[in-house]
Amino acid sequence: MEGRNWEYSGQVYCKLSYNNYTVDTKTVTVTINTCTHEKYTREGKCQQCGEPCRAEVLFIRNGFPYAFEGNEAGAGGILVSGGTAYFVRDTNATLKAGNGDTANMDLTLDLQGHKVKALDLQNFPYNSVTIKNGTINDIATSAPAVLILDSVTTSAGTLDKLFTLTVKGDCVFKSQVNFLGKTQLQGGTFQRGINAALGEEALALLADGYAFADAGSDEILNVSHVDISNRAVKVVEHTDQYHNGKCACGRVCDHAGKVDSAGYCTRCQMLVEAFETGGKRYTSLENALAAAQDGDTVTLRGSLDIENAEPIEISKNIVLNLNGHTPVSYTHLRAHETDSYLVCRLLLEKKKNLRAHEKGRNIV
């Protein structure tokens, strides 16, 4: 046929005779496809004629179909050479995709909406493995492995410590997850939570620019205070916004290597070196008071939320110069009485001016 040199078409009719009877059939058109199906699309259709591949084919790689005829567990013999395998059907087999010579190739398994029972990467002869766009129940390895999950649904509960793992896209974890290895979360929904302690352990799972949010309301969760081990959470893009060195996601800026010449953090913009005495700057009132000598002045250099769980005891005759600023806190400063020291009590209250109660000398 014109433009389709693998197709031949002709008209066929039949004439049947028996004794004195004759029957003529109608003329019909018959098309014969002689395409050799040399290569297939990722959807499993012949690139030339469009005919679908055999039902036994599991995936297409480099345009070629691969069927394992009951031995799907041996797919690793093909996968170890890397590239992208496009799955064209489900499989209830555990694919063994290792034990080959180390080739340091990148392998991508694009499930294309299909389901795979499990994947055993064995000795992991790859540079990295990406699994995307489908469902897989479990993933195992017996060697250090770089694994990327992208828009995958899984019921895996524990990811081995041998995995260096990246989770991104619309991944869904159906079970509570325990990440034992190095993990960077750039997406994903965790329907039964993540087994991680409050604070640093939970925050360490997140890639830069991401935070945990409630899976239902999208509210950003402060994982320094909110437990994510038994609640549905998801990972969302997030820009840290610091107040007094803290972000709503639970991150706390440590200011390490970020303090400029004026004493401010270039990352969170907090006044870090907030107090000055004797020509030197200090990061806390306690440190400044400890360094101050009797009769010195401790100066507050800018607006600051002073947060102290316990009262600060002052046993020196000093001047506290607020420099026109009002500390916003419920911090108490107490000067205790001895035979030789000042007797006074100073209370700084939230959004109130400084009040000094004198018994002897002033703390200004």
Give the per-residue pLDDT at 315. Answer: 77
Tell whether the model's pLDDT for residue 89 goes beyond 50.
yes
Q: What percent of the chain lies above the pLDDT cut of 70?
A: 84
Of the listed ranges 97-111, 120-134, 309-323, the one predicted with least confidence: 309-323
Using DSSP bridges, classify how beta strands 297-300 and 275-277 pair: parallel, antiparallel or unpaired: antiparallel
Task: Supply 172's token pair.
Answer: 């869904």
Render pLDDT for 318-345 as a digit per residue (tens, 0 to 9): 888 888 776 544 344 554 444 333 333 3
- Kind and range of the H or E element at 76? helix 76-79
pLDDT band (50, 70, 90) for residue 260 = very high
Strand partners, 275: 282, 300
- Summarize the confidence of residues 19-41 as an average pLDDT: 82
Report helix, strand or coil for 77.
helix
63 with 39: CB under 8 angstroms? yes
Q: Is the CB of residue 101 less than 8 Å from the CB of residue 120?
A: no
pLDDT band for position 134 (cuts 50, 70, 90): very high
Query: Which secondary structure element, helix H or strand E, spans residue 103, and what is its range?
Result: none
Q: What is the pLDDT of residue 32?
A: 80
Global pTM?
A: 0.75
Round to whole Å and give the CA distance between 4 and 55: 25
Q: Which residues contact 181 (CB under 8 A, 6 or more apart)?
A: 159, 160, 161, 162, 163, 164, 165
**Burial category of 172 from C-beta neighbours within 10 Å (exposed 0-12, middle 13-18, buried 19 and up):** middle
Distance CA 178, CA 169 (A): 19
Compute the average pLDDT of residues 89-118.
89
- Let me know how long the chain is: 364
